[in-house]
């Protein structure tokens, strides 16, 4: 891997694509050349990266000649279609979609948890689902010390998780509602302003779980390398522009206290405690937005478990950063040293 790799971004005009560029710039990620790739309708648009103007090119099978790293965030269908072309051209694909996450030959990586899996890649590395990342980053430091047997998660997912168009719909529908106007949903299935609803992914008619919930369950087991961990999830879309929140209750093998949880999380990679009971100040989307860390607070004993094995907490994380672009760039930063290990 070159010290100044040629980097391609597939889906560069989307919300995560823009964060790829901003995150690489913020972290000083060395780039020899940046290729901006998107659909034919976006070809010809111009972007700026480190003072240089870059013209967006149409994503095709021939887009990856000489590319070292290909960052994908254009949907699972696009990833399945074009990632093999990138790999054959010699690029390492870091994919933000669900296309390859549960493929046994593809590492599913959160660097704070399993960076060692990067070296196992065969050309593709998958970034986990944003809701899974938000939960697992703060759960991992606890799991390492006192194995977590069971997790119950309720998510409060922002419009950013559904892309730029959903964010725009939230703004426009809110404006319409405040002006007493009717705004028929165009992107989301239900009215978005002043409303919340079950996550807009397909429901399995047999289990009743939607696709987002199923992803969290399976990805948690793969990343923790623990098929026995019990995971229950309810995913809800809320009228917040950016940053997901989650209420998490977890049960450990041995008794655990809120004080121990705070100790485990203090200084843990990718985690920042926001847990001020006196001021009633805890993680909020407004504070998580633009923040690289997962904010953790409301740490308290689960009073429904008299055995003392369970703790509840509330977390918030920027879906476009740690839930997507930042996690991918962190993986890219580790590629050279992992490749040589």
pLDDT digits (tens, 9 = 90+) for 16-56: 999 999 999 999 999 999 999 999 999 999 999 999 999 99
CATH architecture of the region 6-128+324-340: 3-Layer(aba) Sandwich (3.40)
pLDDT in the model for residue 131: 97
| CB-CB neighbours of 234 under 10 Å | 15
Residue numbers of the chain with a pLDDT score lower than 50: 337-341
| Exposure b/e, 82-107, CB count within 10 A at least 16 = b | bbebbbebebbbbbbbbbbbeeeebb
Q: CB within 8 A of 100, min separation 6: which ones?
A: 79, 83, 106, 124, 126
- Give catalytic residue positions: 130, 244
pLDDT in the model for residue 3: 75
pLDDT digits (tens, 9 = 90+) for 245-271: 999 999 999 999 999 999 999 999 999
The kind and range of the H/E element at 28 are none
Tokens found for residue 95: 């994919």
pLDDT in the model for residue 2: 63
pLDDT in the model for residue 339: 41
Per-domain boundaries in the chain:
6-128+324-340, 132-319
pTM to 2 decimals?
0.94
pLDDT in the model for residue 336: 65
- CATH 3.30.70.260 assigned to domain 132-319? The reply is no
pLDDT in the model for residue 1: 56
């Amino acid at each position: 891997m070159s010290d100044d790799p040629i980097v391609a971004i597939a889906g560069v005009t989307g919300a995560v694509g823009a964060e790829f560029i901003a995150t690489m710039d913020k972290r000083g990620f060395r780039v020899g050349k940046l290729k901006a790739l998107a659909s034919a309708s976006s070809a010809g648009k111009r972007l700026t990266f480190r003072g240089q103007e870059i013209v967006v090119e149409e994503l095709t099978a021939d887009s990856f000649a000489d590319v070292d790293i290909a960052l994908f965030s254009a949907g699972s269908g696009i990833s399945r279609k074009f990632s093999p072309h990138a790999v054959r051209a010699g690029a390492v694909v870091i994919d933000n979609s669900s296309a390859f996450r549960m493929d046994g030959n593809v590492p599913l990586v959160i660097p704070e948890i399993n960076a060692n899996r990067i070296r196992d890649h065969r050309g593709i590395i998958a970034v986990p689902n944003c809701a899974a990342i938000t939960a697992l980053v703060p759960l991992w430091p606890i799991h390492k010390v006192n194995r977590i047997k069971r997790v119950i998660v309720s998510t409060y997912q922002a419009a950013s998780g559904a892309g730029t168009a959903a964010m725009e719909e939230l703004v426009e529908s809110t404006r319409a509602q405040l002006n007493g106007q009717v705004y028929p949903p165009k992107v989301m299935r239900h009215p978005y302003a002043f409303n919340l609803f079950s996550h807009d992914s397909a429901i399995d008619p047999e289990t009743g779980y939607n696709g987002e919930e199923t992803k969290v369950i399976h990805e948690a087991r793969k990343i923790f390398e623990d098929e026995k961990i019990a995971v229950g999830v309810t995913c809800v879309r809320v009228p917040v522009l950016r940053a997901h929140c989650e209420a998490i209750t977890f049960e450990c093998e041995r008794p655990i206290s809120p004080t121990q949880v705070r100790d485990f999380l203090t200084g843990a990679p990718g985690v920042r405690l926001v847990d001020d009971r006196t001021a009633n100040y805890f993680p909020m989307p407004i504070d998580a937005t633009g923040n690289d860390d997962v904010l953790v607070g409301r740490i308290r004993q689960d009073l429904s478990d008299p055995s003392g094995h369970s703790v509840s907490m509330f977390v918030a994380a920027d879906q476009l950063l740690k839930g997507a672009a930042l996690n991918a760039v962190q993986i890219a930063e580790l590629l050279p040293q992992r490749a040589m290990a």
